[in-house]
Chain A
Amino acid sequence: MSLLQVENLRVHGPARELVHGISFSVESGERLGLVGESGSGKSLTAMSVVGLLANGLRAEGSVLLDGHQVIGQSDRALVPLRGSVAAVVFQDPRSALDPLMRLGEQLALPIRRRARREGRALDAATLRAEQLRWLDRVSIADPERILRSWPHEVSGGQRQRVAIAMALACGPRLLIADEPTTALDVTTQAEVLDLLDDLARDEGLALLFISHDLPVVARITDRVIVMQHGRAVEEGPVGQVFTRPQDEYTRGLVAAARQLETAVRGMR
């Protein structure tokens, strides 16, 4: 059984259908990229997987997350799946974190939840040790200071590392990352990609990685689905799709990405 099995997923907006029947699966430890431009439906597809569509949007079809149907389930039924099976890292760590809660308290939430789920007692010292361990896991150099800090007191890269630590602390088997490096500086982006790469390998995580940035997707995923106007137009190994695209739309995207790269390469 696949870790994630999506069959004929449709997402309806208030006025019209936004995703028109997409199907794919993600196996344990596999890394799948969803690529497309704004409005392609890639984020809607990813959010449908964890039942996090915004109000006014409705998903239809089948999404099996570790064998459990997500579509049509109540939030209450989905809570145990979120975190234990799939966790999400969003584009903007500034809005994903609670601005009124210290980072240490926020990181404590998934740690406590996981302990409860696993029936483990969690005393203050153990909690502290786990907080520090997760911050170390995402290569944060001064964890003590970060735990005491408010989100606005740390850099964008550090916020995103904390958000990743929170996602991982849930103990998921699938990490859904929605443009996780788009809001970051180039140098920070490279560090966060290295980090996700290491974590996925070390923790045996599957990755559903959503991005408009082809080189970034090439760096981190094995297989890719190209989306346009709510449809999958091409799918295959990332090396193949990005070097020998078959679909006309994909060819245009790849050509544009190469044109930008040529500007830099041509001079080096």
Chain B
Amino acid sequence: MKRYLLSRLWQSVVTLILATIVVFAGVRALPGDPALALAGEDRDPESLRAIREQYGLDDSLLVQFWQFVSHAARGDLGRSIRTGEPVGSMIAGALPVTIELSILAILVASVIGVGAGVVAAVRRGRPAEWAANALALLGLSVPNFWLGLMAILYLSVALGLFPASGFVPFFSNPIDNLHHLVLPALILGTGLAAVIMRQTRSSMLDALSADYIRTAEAKGLSPRAVIGKHALRNSLIVVVTIVGLQLGALISGAVVTERIFALPGFGKLTVDAVFQRDYPVIQAVVLVTATAYIVINLLVDLLYSVIDPRIRVRGDA
């Protein structure tokens, strides 16, 4: 177990270092003089010199890289060239929205995906399986931002069931907060639910034909108890695995969903930064996303080895 943990940790550190190098190199690859790019509209030589000074652009690449890493490690991600606000605090303000949205989406997707997957496996060859399969196929094929537009158009604007946009912080009004996030979470969760459903179905089908299930049935356990107990344990593994695998899609999806529902989260920050050519923000957003991806995946793998002891054994071998 310890060896597995250490090697997994080491891999994550290597990936993180490589990712940092990529982001650093990406910023150097900006077209033209980075000082010009950072200056935006302001092109007078005095401010260019100030920018060079501030960002140490005349230092050697190695020194610049070290500066970049050590500042980032202290949470100093520079200042927005549009608002002058520290990028670190902009991100700190936006992240909670995105994290809450993502967690809600994972919850929604798990409930729908696991439920439909279990039904599809148990009701083999019946209309219920057919319907669940069709829904999963649709979920994989529908552009979720379009589904979001349709939901706003028909559920929010026409029927007035949900607010079409906007955000209320959880701690100022939890009910209102959830009311604003239900629809975005449902939309963001569609694709994830489809993938979870398919995986749950096939792992349930495997499990239902496994020896231990036959043993459980032979012991006289009711079908409900057998499915309930083993489905629950299995589905936990499925959800954790899929969330790990689909994390990239989830992050991308969150950006679009926030854009459609005008949620003041990480995605809005990202897209706005691109249009305003706010390079320090873009750089920080990319770095934070990569770091978050690597850390969450590490946690998912660790969690995975806690839930499924077979992983631990394999890691030790």
Partners in one complex: no
Q: List B residues at the A interface (Cβ < 8 Å).
A: none
Q: List A residues at the B interface (Cβ < 8 Å).
A: none
